[in-house]
Amino acid sequence: EVVVNRIAAGEVIQRPANALKEMMENSLDAKSTSIHIVLKQGGMKLLQIQDNGTGVRKEDMEILCERFTTSKLEKFEDLNTVTTFGFRGEALASISHVAHVTITTRTGDSKCAYRGCYSDGKLKEPPKPCAGNVGTQITVEDLFYNILTRRKALKNASEEHAKSVDVVGRYAVHNCRVAFTVKKFGECNADVRTPQDSSHVDNIRSVYGVDVAKELLEVSHVDETLSFKLHGYISNANYSVRKFVFLLFINNRLVDSSAMKKAIDFVYQAYLPKNSHPFLYLSLEILPQNVDVNVHPTKHEVHFLHEDDIIGSIQKVIDTKLLGANT
Ligand code: ADP
Ligand code: MG
């Protein structure tokens, strides 16, 4: 059974950046206002995330890494609205099946923090009291120490590090009220550092550089017929990059949509020189029941109801914006 769990876990968590994304979302769900991340060997040796959120009660630490343990489902009916992206209570469990996990956590009403070590979904011994601030620190060590095939599928440390930094940068831009840092173990300089209560534009500047942020256009649109809301910042025609940078959040979750990407690139082709590409940060809110809940956790590719119409509508919003700014 342990092996089956391990293989299943290796499907959910494929690289340090996946694990990090899940843990950042947990920190955000716990209402953190600051999230600090440290990586050793691209997160393969060590991946540590410290937040100042609500923390976990000592009584709940026992089951924290068990499969389908979640504090985010009140009743069964919630399944439809809460599990927007298909799975719940699997992230920590999966991580604990493929790495050594240590969790130090303290709630606001506790006098001290508690620390527990987990393997294969289980707390190894009762949590021990220790010093610590309110919030949670999760340390993931030796990712995939027990699955050689997964370990072999990873890239080198610097590529894995870059992938993690990329994910943190995206979350930092979207969650601009929350402070983020990510750095290599033992270094002072952070690869991403954004302050608390910042703005999307300031964080785009700090993560993606001054050039991108120079002439960003704000897009904002409410579509009553298709029931969606769009907000974001997009580069103008005078900015172009070799690689399309597209930050897409749907209902606050970082996702990919190759259909939308293609459609947007098409709009920009009318404004940009050949072989150059735009930068876009878009936050889309759609009815939770319209998002495909059967998407596998690692397949960030998302599908939703009325996809073609919504994408068409977004194309129009962007086209109008670019036209207005360039005539
Ligand atoms: P899910 O997020 O789908 O509930 P996870 O496996 O990601 O499942 O997390 C399991 C549970 O652990 C969460 O529901 C939450 O109660 C708790 N948890 C995980 N990370 C944190 C954190 N950083 N702060 C507070 N609680 C956390
Ligand atoms: Mg989670």
Question: b/e map of 230-248 (b: 16 or more CB within 10 Å)?
Answer: bbbbbbbbebbbeeebbbb
Per-residue pLDDT of the chain (327 residues; tens, 9 = 90+): 667 777 777 777 899 999 999 999 999 999 999 999 999 999 999 999 999 999 999 999 998 888 777 777 554 444 445 444 435 678 899 999 999 999 999 999 999 999 999 998 899 999 999 999 999 999 999 999 999 999 999 999 999 999 999 999 999 999 999 999 999 999 999 999 999 999 999 999 999 998 887 889 999 999 999 999 999 999 998 887 778 999 999 989 898 899 999 999 999 999 998 888 999 999 999 988 787 655 555 667 888 889 999 999 999 999 999 999 998
Q: Whose CA is nearest to atom 15 of ligand 1?
A: 71
Q: Is 257 in the pocket of ligand 1 (CB under 6 A)?
A: no
Q: Whose CA is nearest to atom 5 of ligand 1?
A: 89
Among candidates 158, 121, 193, 115, which has minimal Cα distance to 16?
Answer: 158
ipTM of the complex: 0.99
Find the 67 Cα to ligand 1 centroid distance in Å.
11
Residues sharing a CB contact under 8 Å with residue 109, sequence separation 6 or more, in sequence order: none
Tokens found for residue 60: 């709940």
- Give the number of whichever ligand sits closest to the CA of residue 32: 1
Q: Is 311 in the pocket of ligand 1 (CB under 6 A)?
A: no
The single-letter code of the amino acid at 181 is: T
pTM: 0.93
Q: Is 297 in the pocket of ligand 1 (CB under 6 A)?
A: no
> Are 317 and 219 in contact, with CB atoms under 8 Å apart?
yes
Q: Is 107 in the pocket of ligand 1 (CB under 6 A)?
A: no
Report d(CA 28, CA 24) in Å as an integer: 6
What three-state secondary structure class fits 199?
Answer: coil
Region label for 27, one of left (φ > 0), alpha (ψ between -120 and 50) or beta (otherwise): alpha
Q: Whose CA is nearest to atom 13 of ligand 1?
A: 70
Tokens found for residue 196: 């608390």
- Give the number of whichever ligand sits closest to the CA of residue 72: 1
Handedness of CA 18, 308, 252, 238 (dihedral sign): positive
Residues sharing a CB contact under 8 Å with residue 225, sequence separation 6 or more, in sequence order: none
Find the 93 Cα to ligand 1 centroid distance in Å.
10
Provide the Cα torsion 118, 108, 179, 129; round to 10°: -40
